[in-house]
Structure 1
């Protein structure tokens, strides 16, 4: 276990000294306000902006006709290129919140007033908000030229039959509901064009997870040289996948700045954020798990519908990539058949949300395993342990092609059971049931594995010793709350002996950091941290040679001293880092090193969670009582940072199980477009967390580190859902979909007590049989998506 060092970035944040995009708008900047569609699906007959252009303070009003020279928007991962999104709507609008016009004025208030003067004539079309209904015969089409709302999909060949040898098959239709990302800070961007004598054609300050990636998209969109675009991400108030890549709103603001030759800024409102920032999750899963009577798993069949929203949002691809790739979970499953369909609907485009396809896989598999335990009258911990992949089997390639690097799933479960007092909880549960208590105790387990740093690759990191004796560390990742400044400073301080308070941290400015992959997919420490580690070691070796030369000593005798390097055993023969920097300059030796360390593949963190809930059988209210999380992210550098990521992930994972869900009415109108209806928990709703870690290092990087940013989210959601169903099991309830609201839980109780518990299984739609066989047509790359 590493050292619990306090975060160095927090004083600036808690004292109100942090700088966000909306805080650094230069004088004279114009303000952008978008006119958005109130209809989910309609043809655009006319867009009359004459009155708006004459309004006070208005400099320009842009429509789709003004964007003709700019390519349509394509997210950083394209699911179906035929569904590219116009920067401002042309011909049709395809979801409530689709952008039709942009009003640019000298103040935001003037832009808001003028936006109300834009007159739009809509010809309403029938919407479709349900992804299964969207593939039914006669469904209204987003893109008529496609002839279908299928954005992409595939099925496994008919000869893959994973259930043939099963004695018992448990089946469920499982809904993994749509979620709003809802970061504290929504999208924000300020674009400033450069003059002929300036180094950049465009400087963009933007709230993003991936500054260099966004720079590349901007350069490609406008045909600029990459070096002529500067992107700066100041402090970012949360990302969670929703700020990965260039948003269409960013592109409109940049184009407005280009056309007008003036800086333009936009910060979205909360209602815009909830209805227009790409949503996450959004799957309907038909899962079937086959087992022998002794509990041995023989196969899994999954047919999964992914909601892509409008314009084939790349979130639909998560159904075809990460969810499929992680469908085996932590278990030995000899055969897996997986069919996936990514579907267009007249709703907010789908993107990534913390975990990006992996939570959906874990939720499906862990529900089916719990159902199997109930069917076989086995303890759910015993059934899991019986089917775990074992530590000596790693590295291991799963049936879906994922190469697991290392794992010890049984150990994580043992720790979770011990820390939760599992046997005592089961005893208490039995006593309550014997007494007929109307407040039922539920105990839910989940054991998961996920993928981080998907695709392997590398990341930029550099270390320099400065003239004043401090050090500067520069990385291509981009922090938005994870503690990068602390973790990278710890590595440099440990290797060089420079005090942490003398380590400067540089990130998130493409003018200061030459390259980088940004932050997503829990990749930062294992990739950028490894580069910083190797760079620091390289600088240290050079510094030892400098000191040896200066002191006329053997380099093998040079060792660390308090604040510098010196000759071992001779205290008065030493140089401070300030003196070393001066000596290096005199000797012509660079004490600066940049690295792009790579690792051979993704890493696979894992863990085990135990959720304890109480369910009021008279009202359906669920109260989370305890949550024990044991997450394994390989070598732990700083337990405080790991715990912080666990706590944040737990809040979001528990919230999905119990409260959150973005919904639409039949006309495609958002019914949860404000925080009055979209329920986020406060500290009063979530339980105290009992979070700890096991450590199973990866062999893929010198730190032995895996990702932690998404782990607790993935493990907590199915644990809570399993706990609620466990509380209701004596009534005959087998499954309840999320979010487990009082109304939904109460209806399940009512039906079960009336002797008509809901059947968790319905036959999958016929369209699965019509999907192309995997490999028989061009499918999106089935690889982990780094978001």
Structure 2
């Protein structure tokens, strides 16, 4: 056993108020991250013989500091760069042992070394995700009101347990979900095995919570003969109750769960879909229609509330923005440039974003937990505000005006309100900031027109949403066809709709892949059976419809942007919606649950077993 969580003594009266108790055993299978780019490292030495590492990592400082400690080096003597990362999804966080082997070899040989792994090596060595068996009991009144939930989780931590063994803690944190649940009892055991270690994978413990909640509430709806949408609405936490602390200790900031569900039902045409399903069943069609619903709330920036940001006006009037997060395809440079451009009035192309290099950025926690915009973006926001305030003071001095009368004009010049002709350009102000003869007497900053700071949000934010999946199941072959997937995700204020949409599409794709295709398996001796992409079924875009993604916006009060995370939301909401849709398609046969992945053989065998009873 790697770790055990028992958060409270077992309550013998936990289900005392329940009139109905629904139970289920759910497998949230182990999956591989399968980034486009496998792991690797280039080890070099600079002119002073210091280490210079190029690594496809989500967190450069998360590599630099362990390397420095392992080899007894000053951290400043180790440079880590991550100029381009071909996918991470959580698995490219931290310092892999292969990095240390490559560095040790380079130091001994006194020459550069490059190591890259093959796809089969990646499937074996890179951290896997998920890997839980969940035993769930839900107590309800006859009207569908939830009275209590009891959960026991067995987590597969793999060999050398680390992050994966701890993730049931996050599952427990989100075990109340979007519902009013007076009592939650949660226990877990993380088992060490002779398999690949597990760690964070796009959601990291939170998808597992949504998965069991959304499965068990669908089973409750079936038991009580209540529509799946209606039973959710009867149990939602009301918007006026926010902020609130759940019974599992999560500090929800804001939420309007029914708004997202109502929008998802409108877009999907939920009532029309149910009518189509009834018609098919009346005709005796062998192709069954299934409609699955999922509502979720998740935690973003959990435990990672602080980030570095700096903004500086260059001599030519362009802007350099440095940030401690580290992009690997999410569009950080675009989002951060938008913030600076909006606040300082410059063109986006005049903003240069510097990141992912420990020699150029003094500190940073990198990218994980859907934190980058709300934490890193807010650091850039506050630094930009400070730069503008400094610029107003400097412009007031140069123009012999009151700082309160200084404004940013539409032409990216700073000057007296109503007098644009005398306004100063950013290049003018940058030059003056470096000239002691032109600066105010109280000006003590020799670094020029810049601000460098750490933004601390103080707590996590809690995005939420609702997904509706529509599937067809061929009852003669077991084949599942995902016809539509509707995702309405609320990540607070949306700054760039295209970037948000991209994250939603990617998240839904990975969530759908877990529901329908992916799963790591081993034989009884721990030998991998899915060691390459011939055996591990990762789908392509051809297997999916074009996802229908949209947003509601409920800004958080915790940061100046009003933004929450979006990177993992699609993954969290999609998997249970699709699983619920497949079970819904089979429900007329008396089938109440099928474990993932919902491969044709598994679905067909479930149908055959049911018919044989």
Q: Which residue of 2 aligns with 1:453?
A: 301
Using the alignment, how far apart are the partners of 1:312 and 1:289 within structure 2? 30
Instruction: Establish whether residue 364 from structure 1 lines up as the match of residue 212 from structure 2.
Output: yes
Shift of 1:160: 5.7
Question: Is the CA contact 2:10–2:185 (under 8 Å) kept in the aligned structure 1?
Answer: no
Using the alignment, how far apart are the partners of 1:753 and 1:628 within structure 2? 32
Question: Is the CA contact 1:161–1:337 (under 8 Å) kept in the aligned structure 2?
Answer: no
The range that moved more, 277-286 or 674-683, is: 674-683
For 1:729, which of 587, 603, 607 is the aligned residue? 587
Q: Which residue of 2 aligns with 1:203?
A: 52
> Once the two structures are superposed, what CA deviation does each residue of 1:164-209 show, in whole Å capped at 9, x if it has no partner?
22111111110000000000111110122457x45x3x22111100
Q: Which residue of 2 aligns with 1:110?
A: none
The residue matched to 1:280 in structure 2 has which SS?
coil
Q: Which residue of 2 aligns with 1:599?
A: 457
Q: Which residue of 2 aligns with 1:57?
A: none
Q: Which residue of 1 aligns with 2:370?
A: 522
For 1:550, which of 381, 398, 405 is the aligned residue? 398
Judged with a 3 Å threshold, the aligned counterparts in structure 2 of structure 1 residues 496 and 160 are, in CA distance, closer, same or farther, namely: farther
Question: Is the CA contact 1:160–1:336 (under 8 Å) kept in the aligned structure 2?
Answer: no
Instruction: Establish whether residue 466 from structure 1 lines up as the match of residue 318 from structure 2.
Output: no
Shift of 1:359: 0.5
Q: Which residue of 2 aligns with 1:621?
A: 479
Using the alignment, how far apart are the partners of 1:160 and 1:483 within structure 2? 51
Shift of 1:317: 1.3
Instruction: Establish whether residue 504 from structure 1 lines up as the match of residue 349 from structure 2.
Output: no
> Once the two structures are superposed, what CA deviation does each residue of 1:337-367 show, in whole Å capped at 9, x if it has no partner?
1110000111111111100010011000100
> Once the two structures are superposed, what CA deviation does each residue of 1:653-693 show, in whole Å capped at 9, x if it has no partner?
01100001111122222111111111111111111111011
- Matched ranges for 1:334-733 at <5 A: 334-561=182-409, 562-586=411-435, 587-588=438-439, 590-733=448-591
Using the alignment, how far apart are the partners of 2:116 and 2:549 within structure 1? 36
Q: Which residue of 2 aligns with 1:225?
A: 74
Using the alignment, how far apart are the partners of 2:255 and 2:577 within structure 1? 20
The range that moved more, 489-498 or 224-233, is: 224-233
Question: Is the CA contact 1:160–1:337 (under 8 Å) kept in the aligned structure 2?
Answer: no
Using the alignment, how far apart are the partners of 2:43 and 2:19 within structure 1? 62
Shift of 1:258: 2.2
Using the alignment, how far apart are the partners of 1:663 and 1:266 within structure 2? 27
Question: Is the CA contact 2:29–2:519 (under 8 Å) kept in the aligned structure 1?
Answer: yes
Given the two structures, how large is their TM-score scaled by the length of structure 1? 0.75
The residue matched to 1:491 in structure 2 has which SS?
helix
Using the alignment, how far apart are the partners of 2:10 and 2:300 within structure 1? 32
For 1:315, which of 164, 171, 192 is the aligned residue? 164
Instruction: Establish whether residue 258 from structure 1 lines up as the match of residue 116 from structure 2.
Output: no
- Matched ranges for 1:285-304 at <5 A: 285-304=134-153
- Matched ranges for 1:138-177 at <5 A: 150-155=1-6, 156-159=8-11, 161-177=13-29
Question: Is the CA contact 2:37–2:87 (under 8 Å) kept in the aligned structure 1?
Answer: yes
Using the alignment, how far apart are the partners of 1:412 and 1:485 within structure 2? 29
May I ask how many residue pairs the two structures share in their alignment? Answer: 602
Question: Is the CA contact 1:193–1:258 (under 8 Å) kept in the aligned structure 2?
Answer: no
Question: Is the CA contact 2:466–2:573 (under 8 Å) kept in the aligned structure 1?
Answer: yes
Judged with a 3 Å threshold, the aligned counterparts in structure 2 of structure 1 residues 161 and 314 are, in CA distance, closer, same or farther, namely: farther
Given the two structures, how large is their TM-score scaled by the length of structure 2? 0.96
Shift of 1:554: 2.5
The residue matched to 1:300 in structure 2 has which SS?
strand
Instruction: Establish whether residue 240 from structure 1 lines up as the match of residue 83 from structure 2.
Output: no
Instruction: Establish whether residue 738 from structure 1 lines up as the match of residue 565 from structure 2.
Output: no
Question: Is the CA contact 1:178–1:279 (under 8 Å) kept in the aligned structure 2?
Answer: yes
Q: Which residue of 2 aligns with 1:329?
A: 177
Q: Which residue of 2 aligns with 1:42?
A: none
Shift of 1:423: 0.7
Question: Is the CA contact 1:615–1:724 (under 8 Å) kept in the aligned structure 2?
Answer: yes
Q: Which residue of 2 aligns with 1:778?
A: none
Question: Is the CA contact 2:229–2:293 (under 8 Å) kept in the aligned structure 1?
Answer: yes
The residue matched to 1:566 in structure 2 has which SS?
strand
The residue matched to 2:123 in structure 1 has which SS?
helix
Question: Is the CA contact 1:193–1:257 (under 8 Å) kept in the aligned structure 2?
Answer: no
Shift of 1:224: 1.7
The residue matched to 2:456 in structure 1 has which SS?
strand
Shift of 1:451: 0.5
Using the alignment, how far apart are the partners of 2:607 and 2:183 within structure 1? 35
The residue matched to 2:130 in structure 1 has which SS?
strand
Shift of 1:496: 0.2
Q: Which residue of 1 aligns with 2:121?
A: 272
> Once the two structures are superposed, what CA deviation does each residue of 1:475-512 show, in whole Å capped at 9, x if it has no partner?
00000011100000000000000100010010011000
Gap runs ≥5 in structure 2: none
Using the alignment, how far apart are the partners of 2:242 and 2:157 within structure 1? 35
The residue matched to 1:748 in structure 2 has which SS?
helix
- Matched ranges for 1:40-59 at <5 A: none
Using the alignment, how far apart are the partners of 1:301 and 1:392 within structure 2? 27
> Once the two structures are superposed, what CA deviation does each residue of 1:193-231 show, in whole Å capped at 9, x if it has no partner?
457x45x3x221111000012111112222222222111
Gap runs ≥5 in structure 1: 1-149, 757-787
